[in-house]
Amino acid sequence: MSVPPPVDPPADPSSDPTPAEPASAAPHRAGFVALVGRPNAGKSTLLNQVLGQKLSIVSAKPQTTRNRVVGIYTEPGLQAVLVDTPGIHVAKSRLNKAMVQAAVSSLAEVDAVCWVVDVVPLAAAAQKGQEILGKGEQALVQMIEQADPAFVTVALNKVDLVSKPLLLPIMEAVHALLPQAELVPVSAMKGEGVPRLVELWREQLPEGPPPYPADQVTDAPERFIVAELIREKIFHLTQQEVPYSTAVEIELFDEEERESDRPRVHIMARVVVERDSQKGIIIGKGGAMLKQVGTLARKEIERLLGASVFLELHVAVNPKWTSSGRALREFGYE
């Protein structure tokens, strides 16, 4: 006859060791990061690369960005609110002064700063044995230091366009000016080094809940983005002073049929220039230039809105609007 195994007596609850608490999850981090730099450094390209979609307009011409553009990057445990700013430069016109002021004021309103540096001209200076960081870069560093952000990263952009031996003296020069900053070589166009930037923001942004819903990519209204896309095409297609003398205002944004079986949005936009000669250039012979601007812009607007777009453009002259306080306020620059 088999004997059943002995049964352990019931455990005394008072003698149980305290159960181990599960490891706490990593804290959620969220905050605002200002992307600052000289004109044409690649700030807007970097913003678009981080977001994985186009939000800020870009062109090969400097001073394309005129307003602060907010892009919201969200992943588990992190929300980095990126503030793309106009390039900081010596401003002469009232419009340019407003652009620089928009950038400088952003420094005081964020948790962190990412200084985007175009290494191509710095590499050329290093190769010639010249001073690598000029007065413009030194002045920008002073602005960053005065703002005293919690932390600073430096995105050394366009590293794919320079030889690696020239990066070392550039990094040494930047480190000498900003010894507390984290330096990250990147190619905003190709995405190289960008994950490292995001990882630094994850490590250093303050703990806290996300200020925006997880599916929100920007706080800019669609009307603003549409106007910017139209202005971008003018930057691409025109030369000299014309793109810098142009503003775009949305006069009609009719979404009545946007939720229909065949989604459609009707948009009317006014392109404003300063002189009759500029108006003629933007309209083009037989309206060809304006038609090209509209065709290129409409394709991107349709992708943005997820609907077919009927886009109407017309050109108006507002003499010296870039120096008019009333006009600058009307277009949202002041």
Residue 80's Cβ-count burial label (10 Å; 0-12, 13-18, 19+) is buried
pLDDT on residue 93: 87
pLDDT at 12 (0 to 100): 53
Please check whether residues 235 and 159 belong to one and the same domain. no
Same domain, 75 and 120: yes
Query: How many domains would you assign to the chain?
Result: 2
Structural domain ending residue among the three candidates 204, 237, 265:
204
Are 233 and 185 found together in one domain?
no
Same domain for 154 and 283, yes or no, is no
Q: Calculate what percentage of the chain has a pLDDT beyond 90.
A: 84
| Beta carbons of 177 and 138 less than 8 angstroms apart | yes
Q: Alpha-carbon torsion 161, 164, 166, 170, what sign?
A: positive
Residue 114, CA distances (Å) to 91, 130, 228 in order: 22, 25, 23
pLDDT in tens, 24-33: 567 899 999 9
What residues make up the domain containing 242?
Answer: 222-330
Q: Is residue 9 part of a domain?
A: no
Average pLDDT score over residue span 242-260: 95
Is the residue at 74 inside a domain?
yes
Residue at which a domain ends, from 149, 175, 204 = 204
- Of the three residues 150, 171, 204, the one that is the final residue of a domain is 204
Q: Are residues 106 and 58 in the same domain?
A: yes
What type of residue is 128? K
Residues 165 and 248 in one domain: no
Residue 188 shares a structural domain with residue 62: yes
Q: Which letter does DSSP use for residue 23 in this model?
A: P
Same domain, 94 and 232: no
Stated pTM of the model = 0.87
* CATH number of the domain bearing residue 299: 3.30.300.20
Could you write out the DSSP letters of every residue in 159-214? GGGS-GGGHHHHHHHHHHH-TTSEEEE-BTTTTBTHHHHHHHHHHHSPB---SS-T
303 and 169 part of one domain? no
CATH label of the domain that carries residue 65:
3.40.50.300
36 pairs with which residues across the strands?
115
* pLDDT above 90 for 41: yes
Q: Distance between CA 17 and CA 28 in Å, rounded?
A: 31
**pLDDT over threshold 70, residue 210:** yes
Q: Is residue 24 in some structural domain?
A: no
Q: Strand, coil or helix: what is 157?
A: strand
- Of 274, 269, 270, nearest to 242 by C-alpha is 274
101-134: pLDDT as tens digits? 999 899 988 999 999 999 999 999 999 999 999 9
Helix (H) or strand (E) segment spanning residue 103: helix 94-107
Check whether residue 183 and residue 237 sit in a common domain. Answer: no
User: Is 213 a domain residue?
Assistant: no
Q: Find the helix or strand (DSSP H, E) in which 79 lies.
A: strand 78-84
Domain assignment of residue 211, yes or no: no
